[in-house]
Amino acid sequence: MNAFQLTGKRALVTGASKGIGVGLARGLAAAGAELVVNARNADELETTAARLREETGATIHCEPFDLSAADELDSFLGSVVERCGPIDILINNAGRTHRGAAHEMPLEKWREVLDLNLTTVFALSQAFAKHRMAAGGGGRIINVGSLMCSTTRPNNTPYAASKGGVLLLTKAMAVDWADHGIRVNAIGPGYIDTPLNKALVDDPEFSDWVTQRCPLGRWGTPDDLSGTVVFLASPASEFITGQIIYVDGGFLARF
């Protein structure tokens, strides 16, 4: 269906050198989008981009940058637009976590997680919205949330707080920018087998808990998220904004 095609669109995907970011980038490229991929490590980013170019034939630009420098994100996006052209779709995927008991959580770690997972999402989205308003063409923002937009587990205080914030930030930005044709939504991945979750995947007890708790009986993969991100980036979701779609194998549906 043409409604799901992204030909002629350019998408910026953050945190795109590994894990979920690769799955999202692959899906967007397969749907016809030109990509601008971002991560901190330039070598890892170029390796991933080369692989995706070979797989999809897409045009892919690499823009390595540390997004935790929130005050510099407006100029970062401006330089990306100058080098690569206008950005139609922003995928806020970059994030980090730090696990530990709440009463033992160092404030510096709390700030690191909140700064990247929440403040950076707002600052880059703000820069993108101003860019799209100036261009007069609307746009799409897709934030990567988590099961922890709605619930939590022990020893995840800063991550849960940041992802809970992402959910309400998604709704707030959707309301503020609707008149400008900017749709803002989120996806909530379930337990996805990625390098970030390697310690959990490799823990037999935890991995068994995930597969038994998930109605579909397995860990998700980054590619499981690609269809949803294409849907939210495409004209097929024109009347959807301020929403989150959980891609979790039914995890949250099970009591």
191 is catalytic: no
CA atoms of 154 and 29, how far apart (whole Å): 37
CA atoms of 26 and 10, how far apart (whole Å): 13
DSSP class of residue 192? B
Short-list 44, 50, 38, 46, CA closest to 12: 38
Q: Order the strands of the 244-247 sheet from edge to edge.
A: 60-62, 34-37, 10-13, 89-92, 139-144, 182-189, 244-247
CA atoms of 140 and 137, how far apart (whole Å): 10
3-state class (DSSP) for residue 149: helix
CA atoms of 21 and 222, how far apart (whole Å): 8
- Do 3 and 234 form a contact (C-beta atoms < 8 A)? yes
Name the active-site residue from 65, 76, 122, 159: 159
DSSP class of residue 187? E
Active site residues: 159
